Amino acid sequence: MAPITPLHYLVVAAALFVLGVVGVLTRRNVVIILMSIELILNAVNLNLVAFSRMWGNLHGQAFAIFIVVDAAAEAAVGLGILIAFFRNKETINVDEIDLLKW
């Protein structure tokens, strides 16, 4: 079979990215939307590490580590916001979180 080029990794990352986008746009459950955002971040990380291997330096991997750190911080704060909202309104469907709607 053909050798595995960096393009193979880019295609896998694109597939994960599109799956994450579908999850964010389509689901009603807030926790699953946050998990789809984590899918998107992982796709970006895979892209970065694949290019880091292609160019032979470490910049992509360092950037990927920072993205993992950032994803951890954002997941913590996002889930904190979710819990704070759930305490008020007892729902986790984004359709029903419409206090600011006209």
Work out whether 84 is an interface residue with other proteins (CB under 8 A): yes
Could you give the CA distance from residue 49 to residue 53 in angstroms, rounded to a whole number? 6
Amino acid code (one letter) for 87: R
Q: Residue 100 has what DSSP assignment? A: T
- Binding to other proteins (CB under 8 A) within 44-73 occurs at 45-46, 49-50, 52-54, 56, 58, 61-62, 64-66, 68-73
Distances (CA, A) of 42 to 9, 12, 31, 77, 92: 12, 11, 17, 18, 24
User: What minimum distance in Å lies between the beta carbon of 22 and other proteins?
Assistant: 4
83 counts as binding other proteins under rule CB under 8 A: yes
Nearest to 64 by CA among 93, 44, 79: 44
Choosing from 44, 89, 92, 100, the residue that interacts with other proteins (CB under 8 A) is 92
C-alpha 57/C-alpha 41 separation (Å) is 21
Of 4, 98, 100, 101, the one binding other proteins by CB under 8 A:
4
> Which 12-51 residues touch other proteins, going by CB under 8 A?
12, 14-23, 25-29, 31-32, 34-36, 38-39, 42, 45-46, 49-50
11 lies in the binding site for other proteins (CB under 8 A):
yes
